[in-house]
């Protein structure tokens, strides 16, 4: 590993961390797509900034881009407030228009502008180490490292200072307003941080990876935990992991670093989406199946209870047609009830045991008094075997 490689990985990791922090809050606030809008609509800001400064690496460019990012947010909110269209439509209308203006501006001046749209979308992380910050003759390291480093420090300071307020306004906007924290200040503060991060990051990694780095690590972390602190830490870990693994894959295949980082993020998300212990695809599927079976069991037991005196109603064969279940389903319900000692089968007719009776009685009690939530706890007490 030479120093350029280390620097690239360092820049990528810092970008990942800087994106993960605002990204987590955006995902929690259901504003994930605003990053999509910002990352596209900063293009005209950059182009206009370039016309004025004639220097692609001028820090003024970042300011112009950040302004057009915030402008996007303001425009989207203005359109939304008119009530003419829904919020998502407002986002979808604003950023393509701004992006088109940027593309046209570049096209019109294609001859005297060294700004390639591909670079805007993809970034060129591989060249980042060659653009160095010089102090006199001393080499201070790559410029992007300094830019993203300072953005990260600002973001971290803001996060640590306003953690409480951010958390509060994210989860209970009404309470935070009542306690005197202006939700608008929090909102626009977060938007400004997101814009600046997007701008700073996209210089290095391109617009698309910025979106991926903001949304994917936090969405993956959100599937694993409900704790905000853990979620922040996890998303930072995922981001950094994708940066380092992605770099080496790109190195091996000789492809775009941002592309492979995004793909690694995709793999991480896919695995978590499928296998997350509580919120993952398989466990949700399994839980739903279990719940369906348990509801059936309850229906079945109540039915038995109702027909305590009627032998024919409690005949094994009869149940099938009576509750109108298919063969397999009634069989699994019957087995579950037997396993849990809720019923006994005698001469092909089913009788509730003492345990079954008290279970049914309690369940009906809860349902009638509208305390459905208590049934879950009750199930834990009665069930030895789950569906």
Residues that bind other proteins (CB under 8 A): 27, 30-33, 35-36, 40, 79, 82, 84-86, 88-89, 91-93, 96-97, 99-101, 103-104, 107-108, 110, 117-118, 121-122, 208-209, 211-212, 214-216, 219, 222-223, 250, 253-256, 258-263, 265-266, 269, 273, 279-281, 284-285
Q: Which is nearer to other proteins, 35 or 330 (CB)?
A: 35
Q: Which is nearer to other proteins, 262 or 340 (CB)?
A: 262
Q: Which is nearer to other proteins, 110 or 295 (CB)?
A: 110
Q: How far is CA 284 from CA 106, 291, 373, 379, in A?
A: 48, 10, 19, 19
Asked if residue 176 lies in contact with residue 168, where contact means CB atoms within 8 angstroms, the answer is yes
How far is 133 from 130, CA to CA, in rounded Å? Answer: 9
Shortest distance, position 204 Cβ to other proteins, whole Å: 15
How far is 329 from 315, CA to CA, in rounded Å? Answer: 16
3-state secondary structure of 385: coil
Asked if residue 123 lies in contact with residue 206, where contact means CB atoms within 8 angstroms, the answer is yes
Asked if residue 258 lies in contact with residue 123, where contact means CB atoms within 8 angstroms, the answer is yes
Residue 383, Cα to own-chain centre: how many angstroms?
A: 35
Asked if residue 95 lies in contact with residue 45, where contact means CB atoms within 8 angstroms, the answer is no
Q: Which is nearer to other proteins, 181 or 202 (CB)?
A: 202
3-state secondary structure of 75: helix
Shortest distance, position 142 Cβ to other proteins, whole Å: 22
Q: Which is nearer to other proteins, 211 or 298 (CB)?
A: 211
- Closest CA relative to residue 126, chosen from 236, 230, 257: 257
Asked if residue 294 lies in contact with residue 359, where contact means CB atoms within 8 angstroms, the answer is no
How far is 35 from 41, CA to CA, in rounded Å? Answer: 10
The residue to which tokens 């991926």 are assigned: 212
Q: Which is nearer to other proteins, 35 or 169 (CB)?
A: 35
The residue to which tokens 């909102």 are assigned: 187
Shortest distance, position 135 Cβ to other proteins, whole Å: 34
3-state secondary structure of 341: coil
Q: How far is CA 79 from CA 44, 84, 358, in A?
A: 20, 7, 59
How far is 356 from 90, CA to CA, in rounded Å? Answer: 56
Asked if residue 296 lies in contact with residue 329, where contact means CB atoms within 8 angstroms, the answer is yes
Q: Which is nearer to other proteins, 36 or 294 (CB)?
A: 36
- CB within 8 A of 156, min separation 6: which ones? 21
Shortest distance, position 187 Cβ to other proteins, whole Å: 16
Shortest distance, position 28 Cβ to other proteins, whole Å: 9
How far is 130 from 142, CA to CA, in rounded Å? Answer: 7
If one counts every other C-beta atom within 10 angstroms of the C-beta of residue 179, the result is: 11
Shortest distance, position 271 Cβ to other proteins, whole Å: 13
Q: Which is nearer to other proteins, 59 or 266 (CB)?
A: 266
Shortest distance, position 15 Cβ to other proteins, whole Å: 14
Q: Which is nearer to other proteins, 117 or 154 (CB)?
A: 117
Q: Which is nearer to other proteins, 134 or 253 (CB)?
A: 253
């Amino acid at each position: 590993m030479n120093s350029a490689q280390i620097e690239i990985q360092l820049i990528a990791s810092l970008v990942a961390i800087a994106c993960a922090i605002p990204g987590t809050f955006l995902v929690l606030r259901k504003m994930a797509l605003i990053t999509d809008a910002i990352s596209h609509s900063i293009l005209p800001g950059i182009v206009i900034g370039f016309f004025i400064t004639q220097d692609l690496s001028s820090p003024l460019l970042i300011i112009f881009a950040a302004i057009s990012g915030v402008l996007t947010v303001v425009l989207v909110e203005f359109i939304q407030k008119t009530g003419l269209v829904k919020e998502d439509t407002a986002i979808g209308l604003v950023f393509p228009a701004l992006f088109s203006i940027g593309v046209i501006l570049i096209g019109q001046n294609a001859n005297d502008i060294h700004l390639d749209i591909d670079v805007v979308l993809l970034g060129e992380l591989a060249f980042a180490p060659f653009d160095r910050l010089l102090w006199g003759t001393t080499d201070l390291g790559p410029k992007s490292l300094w830019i993203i480093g300072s953005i990260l420090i600002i973001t971290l300071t803001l996060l640590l200072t306003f953690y409480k307020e951010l958390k509060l306004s994210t989860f209970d906007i009404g309470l935070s307003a009542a306690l005197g924290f202006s939700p608008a200040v929090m909102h626009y503060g977060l938007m400004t941080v997101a814009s600046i991060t997007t701008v700073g990051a996209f210089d290095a990694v391109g617009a698309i990876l910025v979106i991926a780095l903001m949304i994917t690590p936090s969405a993956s972390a959100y599937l694993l935990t409900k704790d905000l602190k853990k979620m922040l830490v996890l998303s930072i870990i995922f981001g950094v992991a994708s940066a380092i693994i992605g770099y080496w894959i790109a190195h091996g295949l000789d492809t775009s670093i941002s592309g492979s980082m995004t793909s690694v993020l995709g793999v991480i998300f896919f695995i978590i989406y499928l296998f997350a212990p509580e919120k993952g695809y398989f466990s949700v599927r399994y839980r739903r199946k279990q719940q369906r079976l348990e509801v059936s069991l309850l229906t079945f037991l109540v039915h038995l209870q109702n027909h305590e005196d009627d032998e024919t109603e409690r005949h094994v064969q009869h149940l099938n047609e009576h509750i109108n279940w298919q063969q397999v389903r009634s069989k699994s319900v019957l087995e579950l009830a037997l396993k849990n000692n809720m019923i006994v089968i005698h001469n092909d007719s089913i009788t509730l045991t003492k345990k079954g009776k008290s279970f049914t009685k309690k369940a009906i009690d809860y349902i009638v008094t509208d305390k459905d939530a208590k049934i879950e706890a009750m199930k834990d007490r009665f069930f030895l075997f789950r569906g």
